[in-house]
Amino acid sequence: MTAPLRLLALALTVALLPGCAVLRNFEFRNLGIPPVHRVTIQQGNVITQDMIDRLRPGMTRRQVQFVMGEPILGNTFRADRWDYIYTIQAGAQERRQQRFTVHFEGDALTRFEGDFVPSELQVVQDAALQKAVDAVSE
Protein backbone atom coordinates (compact mmCIF):
# COMPACT_ATOMS: atom_id res chain seq x y z
CA MET A 1 0.00 0.00 0.00
CA THR A 2 1.41 3.36 -0.95
CA ALA A 3 1.81 6.26 1.43
CA PRO A 4 -1.09 8.33 -0.02
CA LEU A 5 -3.45 5.33 0.30
CA ARG A 6 -2.36 4.78 3.91
CA LEU A 7 -2.95 8.44 4.65
CA LEU A 8 -6.38 8.29 3.02
CA ALA A 9 -7.29 5.14 5.02
CA LEU A 10 -6.14 6.78 8.25
CA ALA A 11 -8.11 9.97 7.52
CA LEU A 12 -11.23 7.95 6.69
CA THR A 13 -10.91 5.94 9.91
CA VAL A 14 -10.48 9.08 12.01
CA ALA A 15 -13.45 10.74 10.28
CA LEU A 16 -15.80 7.78 10.82
CA LEU A 17 -14.75 6.88 14.38
CA PRO A 18 -17.01 9.43 16.16
CA GLY A 19 -19.98 7.71 14.55
CA CYS A 20 -19.49 4.80 16.95
CA ALA A 21 -20.47 7.04 19.88
CA VAL A 22 -23.67 8.00 18.09
CA LEU A 23 -24.58 4.35 17.54
CA ARG A 24 -24.21 3.62 21.27
CA ASN A 25 -27.27 5.76 22.06
CA PHE A 26 -29.29 4.74 18.98
CA GLU A 27 -32.45 2.72 19.65
CA PHE A 28 -32.01 -0.50 17.67
CA ARG A 29 -35.32 -1.83 19.05
CA ASN A 30 -37.14 0.41 16.57
CA LEU A 31 -35.49 -1.58 13.78
CA GLY A 32 -36.35 -4.96 15.32
CA ILE A 33 -32.76 -5.62 16.41
CA PRO A 34 -32.51 -6.88 20.02
CA PRO A 35 -30.40 -4.77 22.40
CA VAL A 36 -26.95 -5.87 23.52
CA HIS A 37 -26.93 -7.40 27.01
CA ARG A 38 -24.73 -5.52 29.45
CA VAL A 39 -23.54 -7.27 32.56
CA THR A 40 -24.04 -5.80 36.04
CA ILE A 41 -20.63 -5.02 37.52
CA GLN A 42 -20.18 -4.92 41.31
CA GLN A 43 -16.91 -4.16 43.08
CA GLY A 44 -15.91 -3.70 46.69
CA ASN A 45 -17.70 -4.26 49.97
CA VAL A 46 -21.49 -4.25 50.03
CA ILE A 47 -22.53 -1.73 52.69
CA THR A 48 -25.99 -1.93 54.25
CA GLN A 49 -27.79 0.27 56.76
CA ASP A 50 -28.00 -2.70 59.13
CA MET A 51 -24.20 -2.91 59.20
CA ILE A 52 -23.89 0.79 60.04
CA ASP A 53 -26.52 0.53 62.79
CA ARG A 54 -24.49 -2.23 64.48
CA LEU A 55 -21.33 -0.10 64.79
CA ARG A 56 -20.62 1.46 68.19
CA PRO A 57 -17.71 3.61 69.37
CA GLY A 58 -15.26 1.54 71.41
CA MET A 59 -15.64 -1.62 69.32
CA THR A 60 -12.39 -3.49 68.63
CA ARG A 61 -10.96 -3.89 65.13
CA ARG A 62 -12.03 -7.54 65.10
CA GLN A 63 -15.60 -6.62 66.00
CA VAL A 64 -15.72 -3.98 63.25
CA GLN A 65 -14.27 -6.47 60.78
CA PHE A 66 -16.92 -9.01 61.83
CA VAL A 67 -19.70 -6.48 61.13
CA MET A 68 -18.30 -4.75 58.03
CA GLY A 69 -15.97 -7.35 56.54
CA GLU A 70 -12.38 -6.89 55.41
CA PRO A 71 -11.80 -3.35 54.10
CA ILE A 72 -11.23 -3.19 50.36
CA LEU A 73 -8.58 -0.47 50.68
CA GLY A 74 -5.72 -0.85 53.08
CA ASN A 75 -3.62 2.21 53.81
CA THR A 76 -0.04 1.40 54.74
CA PHE A 77 0.59 4.93 55.98
CA ARG A 78 -2.61 5.25 58.06
CA ALA A 79 -3.35 2.02 59.89
CA ASP A 80 -5.93 3.84 62.02
CA ARG A 81 -8.32 4.25 59.07
CA TRP A 82 -10.26 1.66 57.06
CA ASP A 83 -12.04 2.60 53.84
CA TYR A 84 -14.97 0.64 52.48
CA ILE A 85 -16.01 1.37 48.90
CA TYR A 86 -18.81 -0.26 46.92
CA THR A 87 -19.38 0.40 43.23
CA ILE A 88 -22.17 -0.96 41.03
CA GLN A 89 -23.02 -0.42 37.40
CA ALA A 90 -26.17 -2.23 36.32
CA GLY A 91 -26.22 -2.65 32.55
CA ALA A 92 -26.22 0.67 30.72
CA GLN A 93 -27.14 2.68 33.84
CA GLU A 94 -24.85 5.20 35.49
CA ARG A 95 -22.21 3.87 37.86
CA ARG A 96 -23.06 4.41 41.56
CA GLN A 97 -20.50 4.48 44.34
CA GLN A 98 -20.87 4.31 48.12
CA ARG A 99 -18.08 5.16 50.54
CA PHE A 100 -17.69 4.56 54.25
CA THR A 101 -14.66 5.15 56.48
CA VAL A 102 -14.01 3.97 60.05
CA HIS A 103 -11.35 5.53 62.29
CA PHE A 104 -9.54 3.87 65.18
CA GLU A 105 -7.37 4.98 68.05
CA GLY A 106 -5.30 2.01 69.08
CA ASP A 107 -7.68 -0.95 68.84
CA ALA A 108 -10.89 1.00 69.54
CA LEU A 109 -13.34 2.45 67.02
CA THR A 110 -13.60 6.21 67.58
CA ARG A 111 -15.72 7.49 64.70
CA PHE A 112 -17.06 6.69 61.26
CA GLU A 113 -18.20 8.73 58.29
CA GLY A 114 -19.40 8.35 54.75
CA ASP A 115 -22.53 7.98 52.67
CA PHE A 116 -24.38 6.26 55.53
CA VAL A 117 -25.35 7.47 58.99
CA PRO A 118 -26.73 5.36 61.84
CA SER A 119 -30.53 5.28 61.89
CA GLU A 120 -30.64 6.70 65.44
CA LEU A 121 -28.47 9.65 64.38
CA GLN A 122 -30.71 10.27 61.38
CA VAL A 123 -33.77 10.40 63.66
CA VAL A 124 -32.03 12.89 65.98
CA GLN A 125 -30.90 15.03 63.03
CA ASP A 126 -34.41 15.04 61.54
CA ALA A 127 -35.93 16.06 64.88
CA ALA A 128 -33.41 18.89 65.29
CA LEU A 129 -34.09 20.10 61.77
CA GLN A 130 -37.86 20.04 62.37
CA LYS A 131 -37.40 21.96 65.62
CA ALA A 132 -35.33 24.61 63.78
CA VAL A 133 -37.96 24.91 61.04
CA ASP A 134 -40.72 25.28 63.64
CA ALA A 135 -38.73 27.99 65.46
CA VAL A 136 -38.21 29.96 62.24
CA SER A 137 -41.87 29.72 61.19
CA GLU A 138 -43.15 31.06 64.57
CB 104 within 8 Å of CB 80: yes
**pLDDT given for residue 51 in this prediction:** 86
Q: How many domains does the chain have?
A: 1
- CA 14/CA 53 separation, integer angstroms: 54
Residue 128 belongs to some domain of the structure? yes
What is the distance, to the nearest Å, from the Cα of residue 7 to the centroid of all Cα atoms in its chain? 44
Residue 24 belongs to some domain of the structure? no
Consecutive 10-residue runs of the chain (138 residues): their mean pLDDT?
Answer: 78 69 58 72 82 87 90 77 87 83 90 76 61 69
**pLDDT given for residue 127 in this prediction:** 64
CB 84 within 8 Å of CB 99: yes
Residue 11 belongs to some domain of the structure? no
Those residues whose C-beta lies under 8 Å from the C-beta of residue 78, and which sit 6 or more positions away, are: none
Q: What is the CATH number of the domain that holds 54?
A: 3.30.1450
**pLDDT given for residue 32 in this prediction:** 66
CA distances from 9 to 5, 22, 23, 37 (A): 6, 21, 21, 32
**pLDDT given for residue 3 in this prediction:** 78
Asked whether the CA dihedral 42, 43, 45, 48 is positive or negative, the reply is: negative
Residue 101 belongs to some domain of the structure? yes
Residue 2 belongs to some domain of the structure? no
pLDDT single digits (tens) 50-63? 888 888 888 899 99
pLDDT single digits (tens) 56-88? 888 899 999 999 888 877 777 778 889 888 888
Q: Which domain, by its residues, includes 62?
A: 37-137
